[in-house]
A and B are shown apart, each in its own frame.
Chain A
Amino acid sequence: GAGVSQSPSNKVTEKGKDVELRCDPISGHTALYWYRQSLGQGLEFLIYFQGNSAPDKSGLPSDRFSAERTGGSVSTLTIQRTQQEDSAVYLCASSRQAQGAREKLFFGSGTQLSVL
């Protein structure tokens, strides 16, 4: 596609429910990142996928968070048993991965998650 697409744009859920957030990266981009942005905070790295390599999960805050990337394209971030502190904007980004983290990132518009 022309840009990184994320859905839904807004998600309101009740504490304890599971949520799935979707990211469709730019066609041909092999690297995909998930970041979280809480109000007044910087972007917090969550997870990174590159091609068929094992993902870098070092930023996931707890085992309630997981992500997968099917067919090297679309990615889903799942948060189980959501907590109020999970409320944030979840941003997905993709890049060509020619030079690793030195490659510029293209971000989606994010999913605003609100846990009541």
Chain B
Amino acid sequence: GQNIDQPTEMTATEGAIVQINCTYQTSGFNGLFWYQQHAGEAPTFLSYNVLDGLEEKGRFSSFLSRSKGYSYLLLKELQMKDSASYLCAVPTGANNLFFGTGTRLTVIP
């Protein structure tokens, strides 16, 4: 089976850096996704990691350690618009993407 653990809520200050952690257990690893979901809106794709290491994409970076079953999303130079839920997800089998419950990030001035 699959399991994903993420912190439920985080708060960070505008302009700061925040790291959102995700630990997972899955049989047959096929990469790890991060999605962003603003309140009342659709989730949108942020990143997909299949190899160990850090992948940087502008203010957002995603890290993966397959041996530790661990990933994190790093958000730099936080902006108010970054307030959202961040969902960690792993493919399971051929058809399904298993999502964690998400981390709700609140950015404060």
A: which residues have CB within 8 A of B? Answer: 4, 33, 35, 40-43, 45, 48, 50, 56, 58-59, 91, 100-102, 104-110
A105: which B residues are within 8 A, CB to CB? 35, 43, 45, 97
Q: How far is the CA of A100 from the CA of B105 in the complex (A)?
A: 30
Residue in B48, B95, B99 whose beta carbon sits within 8 Å of that of A43 in the complex: B99
B33: which A residues are within 8 A, CB to CB? 104
Distance between A109 CB and nearest chain B CB, rounded to angstroms: 5
Q: How far is the CA of A109 from the CA of B100 in the complex (A)?
A: 19
Determine if B95 and A102 form an interchain contact, defined as CB atoms under 8 angstroms apart. no
Known: A48-B95, A101-B93. 9 other contacts (CB 8 A): A42-B101, A43-B43, A50-B95, A100-B94, A101-B30, A101-B94, A101-B97, A102-B50, A105-B45
Determine if A102 and B31 form an interchain contact, defined as CB atoms under 8 angstroms apart. yes
* Listed A/B pairs (15) with beta-carbon separation below 8 Å: A4-B42, A42-B102, A43-B99, A48-B96, A58-B96, A91-B42, A91-B43, A100-B91, A101-B97, A102-B31, A102-B50, A104-B48, A105-B97, A107-B42, A108-B42
Determine if B45 and A101 form an interchain contact, defined as CB atoms under 8 angstroms apart. no
Distance between A5 CB and nearest chain B CB, rounded to angstroms: 11
Residue in B41, B44, B95 whose beta carbon sits within 8 Å of that of A101 in the complex: B95
Q: How far is the CA of A4 from the CA of B91 in the complex (A)?
A: 21
| Number of A-B pairs, beta carbon distance below 8 Å | 59
10 A-B pairs with the lowest CB-CB distances in the bound complex, closest first:
A101-B91, A107-B42, A43-B99, A42-B101, A104-B45, A48-B95, A42-B99, A56-B95, A100-B94, A45-B96
Report which residue of B30, B87, B94 has the largest number of chain A beta carbons within 10 angstroms of its beta carbon.
B94
B87: which A residues are within 8 A, CB to CB? 42-43
Residue in B30, B41, B97 whose beta carbon sits within 8 Å of that of A109 in the complex: B41
